[in-house]
Structure 1
């Protein structure tokens, strides 16, 4: 008897095709972004929103779907792409035709990996909105068939109508588990769920079953306007008017890989850090950035957390593009043809090495289902060791900073990323494996290389994605593809870049010598500047003090002369002023080095004396000018003429002195370099004569010629470096470049950066220590308290026990005071009054104030103002400022710290020595400090914390109120809620 049979599909097949096929969340997001590309979207975004239930949305402004399309296509598993007609012109919105990326019709099932529940809301031009609610947990039941589950689908006119419909959709969804009448079908459903419940309870009796979890989910507060808002804005970017179009896919109860972005944990585990890095590595450069004109498809990942600015870890606006690739010192750019031949250009050590042609390997498939097809290739990298690079220090550091985010070799098909290539685990061409055998010869480091291979669906149809989007299918075409690229990498490493390369061996000695000369020259110039400064300071300090005294005496004498109307003394005072004027330039010293060391105090004495001297001279000039205007010094015309010729003579004398110095320096320079030239002209003869004599000893001609060429090359490179340096310096002098000023500026910046790096390491180590200690404090504190209380009665009766217990309690109280300073504390904005701030500060430092005999004052005006903000932002600011004041106020006779509120500004003032005028501009810089063993972090953090809420802090200027004679810090709050009168 002959019968027929057909396949039947269980519901869990959807689970296997969706969640079971996807490797991780970034890959699932990539699939859904590609769906947006197929829908002719101009932009797609992933938004992650915090909340009791984390919701993430994938929004686009593509052509969208109506209810019919959602039912007949989105819910249909499989594909029509092989036979489907092209997208209509009206659905392309002026974009050129795009290659269709979706082939299997299962990419949308990736949503099941991201969350248990998915809401799809879509809008087509001229059609109402349509929404579909899918709970993927139904497909975990192995006893259901696909057609046993029905999902709610609705249409509506405006988004404001959706909240009421959303609740109805949930009720309809739960109807799959609640049967109103008995029938064979409902009996089948009930049996299926009963059997599945029994299995789940047996496996995990303490957890709710899938059915219970579905029924317990409430729609209340799940989807808000905040979730819709980014999609609304994205759709309106693509159109003018209200007839918008696009699709938003909301993942309700997003999985850990997405939810970890919006958690408030201060400590991120290595696993969470790795999850975030993987998402960034996977989605960055989603669109090929190495095209001169990238395709029109914007993308972004946006993280929304309450009270914080949106964080955007991935964006199409932040990429390592083709221009940056071409700026690297090592670049390969070209293409492979159908026969597997490579044609392109090579740049090595910053120099264009011309065209490169590499024929395909001897055995290579060009036709049929195993052929690779033509594709384009570009790669750029730079030297690992700074001493070998042709890049400047700034360029080297910049490229190094880009490696973690953009390093790796990507594959782009039709302009979009193929996963997982470009990620740390996507080294398709085994670059690190070959380096493990011979790092120098193989040269290329995967994570320090930037680049991509550009393939297309049309020309490379045999390079197919695996079903789970975890890379290309391993077939002969892929193996040939790998072989072509590996062959090229090995060839160019040996010919141009690696230790076996002639080019490398020729270039490196010159590069290294040039860097060594630059470093020696910089160090010599630094020492010379420091020495000249110290010598000038030592010489000019007493002269500046004396000149300042003379100027003040002259000013006093002029005031007395004018008071007594003894105008006959005015000419003598004018002569004294002219003499002092001549000292102004003579008393100047070279630019101050960044590090003064033991000269700090002398420099400040000199600076103050010179500033007073100049100010007094200006005062004298002004007073004498008024006397001259009144005719007290004679005929005004004669005085003006005399002043003209006097100033002209002074300028001429100044130029004459400078020119004389330049001439003598040039003569000395000419003499030095003429001697160098005489010595260098004989260098080749001295080094080569012995090789010529080798001929007489019976050596062949070839080795002698090789030796002579080697000596010539080495000596020529050395002389080029030596003479190019002085020539370029002289050319810059001729062009008017201030070399000393330029060097001083660079040297100052470098020294500052070196110090900051050192301090950063210290602060980082301190931070690690605090994290480790802080993590254990609560447990340790409770254990100590418990064990102290368990001591025997006779021990607890001892005075030493009482003192120890009180000391422990005091320590615990002090640590608890730090709770508001933790980032996770007090996340809600509340009203904070000046009185509460003052109370907190007084309690925190109360013992210190008493021990150090410090008078802590709070004015009624300060107690009377109020703001609304986070205590974790406001309290640390005042703690830092008062803590600084505590240090400095003890260096004076009066020891007062005062909190005041004047002219709408909060002021923290002290009676200490104040801040030196040279230091005021650096006060809020990271790591700047004048405190012994200080780290220079507190004031920087104060400014950054306040800036987040648009508050500002500064050191008091001339226009600010001054409360005490020492330091006065001004805080201007963005909005003061209340000030009591």
Structure 2
């Protein structure tokens, strides 16, 4: 098609663009003021004063007092005429961006520039319409600019031709010599008249709090671990004044509050997703330190659950990383962090009411080059979506947002894709970098949760051990008390009464203790039965589905013409086999019921192992090699077979999870091994999965402690308690000759008497 005309054209923005950049784009009046204060920071100011003058509170939707105005004054380097005309009045000016790209700092305070988009100054329009700016550099005369945004925001005009273009509106400026405002040094003053919004006492308090948190508070972990590189910015302060009275700054005791956190973790996440951390547990928990390096993208190489990591990064195509395939590589850059987690369980009561209020008012902050990114860290701003994840995933894998204070540190140089939104509320998701950033931090918190859960369960182990020793201690105390009564009390009648009282107390305690033991055993039986029924009912439903399809096929065949006798016989045989499978499923469940567990049998452990393997035949059919070894004579026990069966079901169910979820490397055979030793009265159950670290050897048997993504924390606990009823023990073994496979190796030691 021939070209009949050719030329060039430029954009001609309407003046209302200024309203969009300021009033409409900036979402919040507090954010707007914070943005102006950030500009003062970039201008090397050390002090900023925000003053509300002639302020009178208004009720409801009443407009602000027309005589009220705001002044923001700093002692920064100021602007001269050239900067005012060619930088300040040019929306989108790239001067700060160019300085950041060259990694240049501010000339006096050596700060990293915060702004880069060139539109933050228009946040003024969120606050008021009539603006006067006075500014002076150390060596130039004072410049004064007046802007009336009412000239730009003419949306009430009737016709399109009446809307003004941006180029049609001019702003008046003058040069003051001598200066009108800055007679003693450089700086900038912004006076905002014709205010658009009312401010309440709560707003002033929120503004003061936001400004206090503009720079990172003292981070005790960073101060301890990185004293040479970490510093608290103490060269920038503010004052907030309302009608001549300074708004009192909320008293903060960051160092004291952070030191109260019993669980603390400091670390980094590399640009490739490698997590390095130092973890510390302290009072009231037993002091414990843990240092680890974990590639979060190698989901199968660590034991804690992180569904967010797996969902975002793991896939079946694209790129390799450590033997596993990834659908994307992270783009967030290097992350530094410190996390402080508080134990908020009702029985701990580690914090007083004021400390709890402080904790509830903060969560996880983000600081770029030492300056806070808004609104990260604000109360109820759950940007890591922990509440949602607790509701939709397993709640035990995530902290409650109200028990964390965190500081995340990024830089413009290391994290170029983590950019503020134009509205200054949150971050943009440039090429998925922000979602990568969140996901990897969630992975770090998952790792910390696994560490703190271990410390909590270790504390419970100590308490349980003390509780188990109570019965014996009480009997010894009773004997000692009887001796003391006989020694001290001389009156035979009084002595007899005291002895009867002590004996009655011991009898009542024994009766109550026996009742509680029976109830606990009942709960354990019901819980174990529930786990087995859940699995068996799943298999039964699957088989019944096949049975229904077989019946439908039989009916369809009978409707066809021609000889079908052989086919009918085949279908009936298949249907008979399916019914037999359901029957066998029920036979496996039957010994697990509580009434069956009360009946002692002569049990051949090898036969129970075989029955367990049949029970899991569908799961074991695919890619898991099962080996059953027998050493010496038959291992026979006098016990209800349901107890042994339940133990093995729980152990194998646990092994299957780890073999499939975080099992062997690709192309490596997955294994499950049973060794029945009749001579030593032992049964070993081992797998080739990820294994159990020695520090978890006791914790895995505690109730409700689980490393599974959807685990209940009951399987191994029930196995231990059922074995204890038989006088048997179970433990995790780590050395030869007991350990046979590289994963988890559970050794059951039965009593040595013959069956």
After TM superposition, the score normalised by the length of structure 2 is 0.51
Ranges of 4+ aligned residues in structure 1 off by more than 6 Å: 86-91, 364-370, 511-514, 699-703
Once residues 87 and 457 of structure 1 are traced to their aligned partners in structure 2, the CA distance between those partners, rounded to angstroms, is 9
Once residues 88 and 461 of structure 1 are traced to their aligned partners in structure 2, the CA distance between those partners, rounded to angstroms, is 13
Indicate conservation of the 8 Å contact 1:333/1:379, yes or no: yes
Matches within 5 A, 1:638-649: none
Choose the corresponding residue for 2:437, options 442, 464, 481.
481
Instruction: Tell me the residue number matched to 1:435.
Output: 390
The gaps in structure 2 that reach 5 residues or longer are: 56-64, 156-162, 224-230, 299-312, 467-505, 515-634, 640-679, 684-696, 703-755
Local SS of the residue matching 2:374: coil
Matches within 5 A, 1:439-588: 441-475=396-430, 476-493=432-449, 495-497=450-452, 501-508=453-460
Once residues 97 and 454 of structure 2 are traced to their aligned partners in structure 1, the CA distance between those partners, rounded to angstroms, is 55
The gaps in structure 1 that reach 5 residues or longer are: 163-231, 233-241, 262-272, 515-678, 688-694, 704-708, 715-981
Local SS of the residue matching 1:7: coil
Matches within 5 A, 1:677-716: none
Local SS of the residue matching 2:24: coil
Matches within 5 A, 1:182-201: none
Choose the corresponding residue for 1:72, options 70, 82, 86.
86
Q: What do residues 68-124 of structure 1 show as CA deviations (whole Å, max 9, x unaligned)?
A: 32122211112223774589999956422x222221111100100011112211121
Q: What do residues 382-405 of structure 1 show as CA deviations (whole Å, max 9, x unaligned)?
A: 12235225x4xxx54453132244
Choose the corresponding residue for 1:133, options 141, 146, 164.
146
| Cα deviation, residue 11, structure 1 | 0.5
Instruction: Tell me the residue number matched to 2:306.
Output: none
Choose the corresponding residue for 1:7, options 2, 5, 11.
11
Indicate conservation of the 8 Å contact 2:272/2:329, yes or no: no
Indicate conservation of the 8 Å contact 1:325/1:379, yes or no: no
Instruction: Tell me the residue number matched to 1:325.
Output: 258
Indicate conservation of the 8 Å contact 2:96/2:113, yes or no: no
Once residues 386 and 509 of structure 1 are traced to their aligned partners in structure 2, the CA distance between those partners, rounded to angstroms, is 19
Instruction: Tell me the residue number matched to 2:294.
Output: 358
**RMSD, matched Cα:** 4.3
Local SS of the residue matching 1:422: coil
Local SS of the residue matching 1:502: helix
Choose the corresponding residue for 2:39, options 21, 35, 38.
35
Indicate conservation of the 8 Å contact 1:329/1:349, yes or no: yes
Change (3 A) 1:15 1:701: farther
Once residues 511 and 61 of structure 1 are traced to their aligned partners in structure 2, the CA distance between those partners, rounded to angstroms, is 60
Instruction: Tell me the residue number matched to 1:295.
Output: 233
Q: 1:260 aligned to 2:200? A: yes
Indicate conservation of the 8 Å contact 1:28/1:111, yes or no: yes
Once residues 440 and 459 of structure 1 are traced to their aligned partners in structure 2, the CA distance between those partners, rounded to angstroms, is 33
Matches within 5 A, 1:331-370: 331-350=264-283, 351-362=287-298, 363=313
Local SS of the residue matching 1:253: strand
Once residues 370 and 488 of structure 1 are traced to their aligned partners in structure 2, the CA distance between those partners, rounded to angstroms, is 14
Indicate conservation of the 8 Å contact 1:370/1:462, yes or no: no
Local SS of the residue matching 1:287: coil
Instruction: Tell me the residue number matched to 2:248.
Output: 312
Change (3 A) 1:299 1:76: same
Q: What do residues 387-439 of structure 1 show as CA deviations (whole Å, max 9, x unaligned)?
A: 225x4xxx54453132244x111111111111221123532211111233478
Indicate conservation of the 8 Å contact 1:66/1:123, yes or no: yes
Which structure features the higher share of strand residues? Answer: 2
Matches within 5 A, 1:20-59: 20-51=24-55, 52=65, 53-59=67-73
| Cα deviation, residue 305, structure 1 | 3.4
Q: What do residues 556-596 of structure 1 show as CA deviations (whole Å, max 9, x unaligned)?
A: xxxxxxxxxxxxxxxxxxxxxxxxxxxxxxxxxxxxxxxxx
Q: What do residues 167-211 of structure 1 show as CA deviations (whole Å, max 9, x unaligned)?
A: xxxxxxxxxxxxxxxxxxxxxxxxxxxxxxxxxxxxxxxxxxxxx
| Cα deviation, residue 463, structure 1 | 0.9
Once residues 302 and 702 of structure 1 are traced to their aligned partners in structure 2, the CA distance between those partners, rounded to angstroms, is 74
Instruction: Tell me the residue number matched to 1:536.
Output: none
- Figure out how many residues of one structure are paired with residues of the other and give that number: 430
Indicate conservation of the 8 Å contact 2:51/2:243, yes or no: no
Q: What do residues 859-908 of structure 1 show as CA deviations (whole Å, max 9, x unaligned)?
A: xxxxxxxxxxxxxxxxxxxxxxxxxxxxxxxxxxxxxxxxxxxxxxxxxx
Once residues 682 and 28 of structure 2 are traced to their aligned partners in structure 1, the CA distance between those partners, rounded to angstroms, is 64
Choose the corresponding residue for 2:364, options 400, 405, 409.
409
Change (3 A) 1:398 1:141: closer
Indicate conservation of the 8 Å contact 1:410/1:422, yes or no: yes
Indicate conservation of the 8 Å contact 2:215/2:371, yes or no: yes
| Cα deviation, residue 338, structure 1 | 2.1
Local SS of the residue matching 1:371: coil
| Cα deviation, residue 295, structure 1 | 2.4
After TM superposition, the score normalised by the length of structure 1 is 0.40
Local SS of the residue matching 1:130: strand
Change (3 A) 1:508 1:90: closer
Q: What do residues 762-784 of structure 1 show as CA deviations (whole Å, max 9, x unaligned)?
A: xxxxxxxxxxxxxxxxxxxxxxx
Q: What do residues 489-540 of structure 1 show as CA deviations (whole Å, max 9, x unaligned)?
A: 22322x223xxx33212214768999xxxxxxxxxxxxxxxxxxxxxxxxxx
Change (3 A) 1:132 1:91: farther
| Cα deviation, residue 57, structure 1 | 2.1
Once residues 90 and 421 of structure 1 are traced to their aligned partners in structure 2, the CA distance between those partners, rounded to angstroms, is 26
Once residues 87 and 448 of structure 2 are traced to their aligned partners in structure 1, the CA distance between those partners, rounded to angstroms, is 49
Local SS of the residue matching 2:152: helix
Indicate conservation of the 8 Å contact 2:136/2:143, yes or no: yes
Local SS of the residue matching 1:345: strand
Q: 1:152 aligned to 2:172? A: yes
Q: 1:81 aligned to 2:33? A: no
Once residues 82 and 92 of structure 1 are traced to their aligned partners in structure 2, the CA distance between those partners, rounded to angstroms, is 10
Indicate conservation of the 8 Å contact 2:339/2:404, yes or no: yes
Local SS of the residue matching 2:406: strand
Q: Relative CO higher for 1 or 2, CA cutoff 8 Å, sep ≥ 6?
A: 2
Q: What do residues 348-407 of structure 1 show as CA deviations (whole Å, max 9, x unaligned)?
A: 353342213332224489999962111101111212235225x4xxx54453132244x1
Once residues 87 and 428 of structure 1 are traced to their aligned partners in structure 2, the CA distance between those partners, rounded to angstroms, is 28
Which structure features the higher share of helix residues? Answer: 1
Q: 1:108 aligned to 2:148? A: no
Change (3 A) 1:319 1:245: farther
Instruction: Tell me the residue number matched to 2:591.
Output: none
